[in-house]
Amino acid sequence: MQPIIQPSSALRNNYQEISRLCRTEKQPVFLTRNGRGDTVLMDIETYARREEELLDAQRLIDAQVSRLNGVEGFSIDELNRGLQIAIEQGAARAASEEDGL
């Protein structure tokens, strides 16, 4: 995907078009001032998605650092067993709530 680059004057003179570009292209618009990078503009949805991706990446890094520091985790089998138990407990809870209605 090619970056979208606009002069900062485009923001002043054509905000609606720059805003539409941000929303439809789902990527940031880079604004230049005197031919040099100055500001990045993006729509709220794209910003929120990028923030969530950064948070996910940080969680993965933190987990890897913990593992490298000797913190024990779960094997795939242990994780699957735990998930199965949680599913069964949730199903049992939902069934008991239906009985109580």
Q: What residues does each domain of the chain span?
A: 4-43, 46-100
CA 94 and chain centroid, separation: 31
Over residues 52-58, mean pLDDT? 97
Q: CATH code for 4-43?
A: 3.40.1620.10
Residue 71, pLDDT > 90, answer no
Beta strands of the chain (E only): which ranges?
4-7, 29-33, 36-41
Q: Which pTM does this prediction carry?
A: 0.61
Question: What is the distance between the alpha carbons of residues 42 and 37, in angstroms, rounded to a whole number?
Answer: 15
Instruction: Tell me what percent of the residues of the chain surpass a pLDDT of 70.
Output: 98
Over residues 91-99, mean pLDDT? 86
Region of 46 on the Ramachandran plot (φ > 0 left; ψ -120 to 50 alpha; else beta): alpha
Residue 46, pLDDT > 70, answer yes
Q: How many CB atoms lie within 10 A of CB 65?
A: 10
Question: What is the distance between the alpha carbons of residues 73 and 66, in angstroms, rounded to a whole number?
Answer: 9
Express each pLDDT in 72-89 by its tens digit: 888 899 999 999 999 999
Half-sphere exposure (Cβ direction) of 50: Cα atoms closer than 13 Å:
10
pLDDT-based confidence at residue 101 (cuts at 50, 70, 90): low
Residue 45, pLDDT > 90, answer yes
